[in-house]
Amino acid sequence: MIIVLRRDATEKQLKHIVDKVKKLGLKPMISKGIERTIIGVIGEEDILRVQPLEVFPGVEKVMPVLAPYKLVSREFKSDKTIVSVGGVKIGGKKIAVIAGPCSVENFDSLLKIAKQAKKGGAAMLRGGAFKPRTSPYAFQGLGEEGLKYLHQAGKEAGLPIVTELMDVRDIDSVEKYADMIQIGARNMQNFNLLKEVGLSKKPVLLKRGMMSTIKEWLMSAEYILVNGNFNVVLCERGIRTFEEATRFTMDVSAIPVVKRLSHLPIIADPSHATGKWGLVGPVAKAAVACGCDGLMVEVHTNPEEALSDGSQSLMPSNFVKMMQEVKKVAKAVGRDV
Ligand code: PEP
Ligand code: MN
């Protein structure tokens, strides 16, 4: 249920309604838009049929939200959310490009990649310290040491950092060193992890599960918002299909679909979607043409020696080429990079 307040509703009227909603055992979530304030009501909404809130001063209308996700929906908030990560805005006119290695391997190579990424036009640095690997024998990441390297490299290159959190037990250290917390595809429905990052003050990058529908993905985002964290960015990273020519299949149509259903920004990851560096540029351009608010790409100075995902990593020179191409598409669709 959504309570839309009148344009001229006062703070006192807002407080009165919020108190009433709480008294009824429901959870009010306030969204102050440019035009007006909206209160999302979470809980057993049937009670509102007995206690009609339309009669309260300051209320314009009360509407049911038909979608199973409430706070994430466009019905709850019609204007687009802009998420700010260490000064970088995601969801505005400018497309935010996040670049960096798949895994943090050592400080020197990370710093080199970070500086090249910055020079090439990246707005943020990525890198995994806790890696979700299919094989238990594969490199699992440097853990907290990797977080420290990321923090330092980001600082030296002048880039905010995003890194994956796999386990609730590591949230304190990830919060300490990172500007944004990534929830990976494999953990998109790890509900305890979602609740935990919902309680965090850090922005969250929620990747789409490789076998998840858009509805399930938005429900996962709802877990984060309902726990109080509205700074969520979605990331389409390809889904499983029968096609084997690419690692996954980039669902570009998910971008305009999500933009219609939700106010949250959405970025695209053509690296994990394709699994092949030669396809990263073309798919990045397709995602930008479809209206994505950012890109996440893997960049490595020596992909041959990378400890993970070398085959989909761009050399810095190819990252620069991709950025030049992406810029043209961005301009054509009224965006900047
Ligand atoms: C990553 O971005 O490092 C990653 C592991 O991606 P995904 O969760 O999309 O597979
Ligand atoms: Mn990777």
pTM, 2 dp: 0.94
Task: Please state the rounded mean pLDDT for residues 35-51.
Answer: 83
Predicted confidence (pLDDT) at residue 136 exceeds the cutoff of 90: yes
Please, is 79 exposed, middle or buried when counting C-beta atoms within 10 Å of its C-beta (0-12, 13-18, 19+)?
Answer: exposed
Least confident interval from 25-34, 90-99, 191-200, 304-313:
25-34
Note whether 215 and 253 are within 8 A (CB).
no
3-state SS, residue 181 = strand
CA of 271 to the centre of ligand 2 (A): 8
Return mean pLDDT, the chain.
96
Domain(s) of CATH 3.30.70.1140: residues in the chain: 2-63
Domain(s) of CATH 3.20.20.70: residues in the chain: 83-332
Predicted confidence (pLDDT) at residue 45 exceeds the cutoff of 90: no
The CATH code of the domain at 2-63 is: 3.30.70.1140
pLDDT digits (tens, 9 = 90+) for 261-286: 999 999 999 999 999 999 999 999 99
b/e code 257-290 from CB counts within 10 Å (16+ = b): bbbebbbbbbbbbbbbbbbebebbbebbbbbbbb
CA of 139 to the centre of ligand 2 (A): 12
Level-2 CATH architecture, domain 83-332: Alpha-Beta Barrel (3.20)
- Binding pocket residue ranges, ligand 1, CB within 6 Å: 102, 128, 132, 164, 184-186, 207, 237, 269, 272
Mutate to test the pocket of ligand 1, among 103, 124, 164, 248 (most ligand atoms within 8 A of CB): 164
